[in-house]
Amino acid sequence: MNFLGLNKNKTFKPKRNVPEGTKQQQLQKYAEATLGSGDLKLAVVLPEGENINEWYAVNTYDFFNQINMLYGTITEFCTPQECPVMSAGPQFEYYWSDGFKKPTKLSAPDYVDNLMEWVQHQLDDETLFPSKIGVPFPRNFPQVVKTIFKRLFRVYAHIYLSHFRVIVALGEEAHLNTSFKHYIYFVKEFQLIETKELQPLAELIENLTAIIIIIK
């Protein structure tokens, strides 16, 4: 499916909520409570006795909404003129391939718009993210989740490496850092993304997740 051209200049998508009355909704409340403790590393751990696919689904909704909101704060600065290529610093460029015969170079806003439309489409697909109680997740669900998280990382990377000064000026850096740190702990806990994909922000990841030992 070709998402190019859909919702042009409307990258900020409506919030996606987990289906009401489902196990996912209960897990979402658990996740919110755990996050409230401030221990992000503990917050990503699969609750005892719970289905891992349900946990993947809850967190996929959550990170989609977080990144959607964070990118939405800088859309007026991320334009085809300012960001003619979707990049994560000078060494990494991303081309969009879904719906095209070959990977295609897009401006950052067009790329992110396609990316978020694509994720939105996955979340709305009942065969992938079932909303009815008792309906099983497909066998390829973990792979779908891995692809979503790999692509969402690219938005974090672009924000950090192309628009961090704007984020600081808006007073959003603490929110961005917390969201990204939460994301990193989650993908590492379940090995959802290859280390090479994280390379653009390798130094930042090391700093955010470093354990500081204070000797008295």
Retrieve residue 213's tokens: 């030992």
Confirm or deny that 158 is annotated as ligand binding.
yes
Q: Tell me if 209 sits within 8 A of 181, measured CB to CB.
A: yes
As a three-state string, the secondary structure of the chain is CCCCCCCCCCCCCCCCCCCCCCHHHHHHHHHHHHHCCCCHHHHCCCCCCCCHHHHHHHHHHHHHHHHHHHHHCCCCCCCCCCCCCCECCCCCECEECCCCCCCEECCHHHHHHHHHHHHHHHHHCCCCCCCCCCCCCCCCHHHHHHHHHHHHHHHHHHHHHHHHHHHHHCCCHHHHHHHHHHHHHHHHHCCCCCHHHHHHHHHHHHHHHCCCCCCC
Confirm or deny that 78 is annotated as ligand binding.
yes
Confirm or deny that 182 is annotated as ligand binding.
no
Residue numbers belonging to the annotated binding site: 78, 83, 158, 163
Residue numbers belonging to the annotated binding site for Zn(2+): 78, 83, 158, 163
